Amino acid sequence: MKLDVLAIGRLKAGPERDLVMRYAERLKGLGRGIGLDGPRLVELAESPARRDLDRKQEEARALVAEFREGYRLVLFDERGAALDSGQFAAMLGEWRDSGVPGASFVIGGADGLDPALRERAAKILAFGAMTLPHQLVRVLVLEQIYRAGTILSGHPYHRN
């Protein structure tokens, strides 16, 4: 199953980018043996629109252009459901085992995600009720996908 991480905004050089790349590389190495391919990392420019509604709609159009046919769409939003790491891994494993071709993990911009994207989502997840900077959310998403891979492979990285 192929994995995409789509994010509004570009990470500058620094510790957040270093962590994203570290988890992406770890996942590439681990994923081959357990049927996970990727991640494909896509950074999309923030909309220059003046109104937040217009920005969210423009960013949604850019995200939709990156969606791949048949992929499950997972949005990260502070109003989403909270899964523990084992539940998240089980979800990915179930999708993989049932022949889902891929999953796209979507991180919105500073104004959040357009409601039209919420309607298309297979899952809307949160890392808690607090608002987090999208740079840190990107790190958390990559770390949790990597952790899910370690859980699925029986690797000792995840300890209960």
> Where does the pLDDT of residue 68 fall: very low under 50, low under 70, confident under 90, or very high at 90 and above?
very high
Total number of domains in the chain: 1
Whether 160 is covered by a domain: the verdict is no
Among 102, 104, 107, which Cα is nearest to 43's? Answer: 107
Whether residue 159 lies inside any domain: the answer is no
pLDDT the model gives residue 43: 97
SS3 state of residue 80: strand
pLDDT in tens, 98-154: 999 999 999 999 899 999 999 999 999 999 888 888 889 999 999 999 999 999 999
Share of the chain above pLDDT 90, in %: 88
Give the model's pLDDT for residue 156.
86
pLDDT at residue 160 in the model: 65
In a domain, 89, yes or no: yes
CATH of residue 88: 3.40.1280.10
CA angle 114, 116, 119 (to 5 degrees): 125
**Is pTM, for the whole model, over 0.85?**
yes
Q: How confident is the model at residue 38 (pLDDT cuts 50, 70, 90)?
A: very high
Domain residue limits at 62:
2-153
Q: What is the pLDDT of residues 3-16, one digit of tens each?
A: 999 999 999 999 99
Domain membership flag for residue 41: yes
Q: What burial class does residue 106 get, using C-beta atoms within 10 Å of its C-beta: 0-12 exposed, 13-18 middle, 19+ buried?
A: buried
Question: Is residue 159 over pLDDT 80?
Answer: no
Provide the b/e sequence for 3-26 (b: ≥16 CB within 10 Å): bbbbbbbebeeeebeebbeebbeb
10 Å CB burial of residue 41 (0-12, 13-18, 19+) is middle
Alpha helices, DSSP H only, in 9-153?
15-31, 52-66, 85-97, 115-120, 134-153
158 belongs to a structural domain: no
Q: Across all residues in the chain, what is the average pLDDT?
A: 94
HSE, CB side, 13 Å, CA atoms: give it for residue 26: 18
Mean pLDDT in residue range 28-50: 95
Task: Determine the angle formed by the axes of helices 134-153 and 85-97, rounding to 10 degrees.
Answer: 70
Residues 46 and 7: beta-carbon distance below 8 Å? no
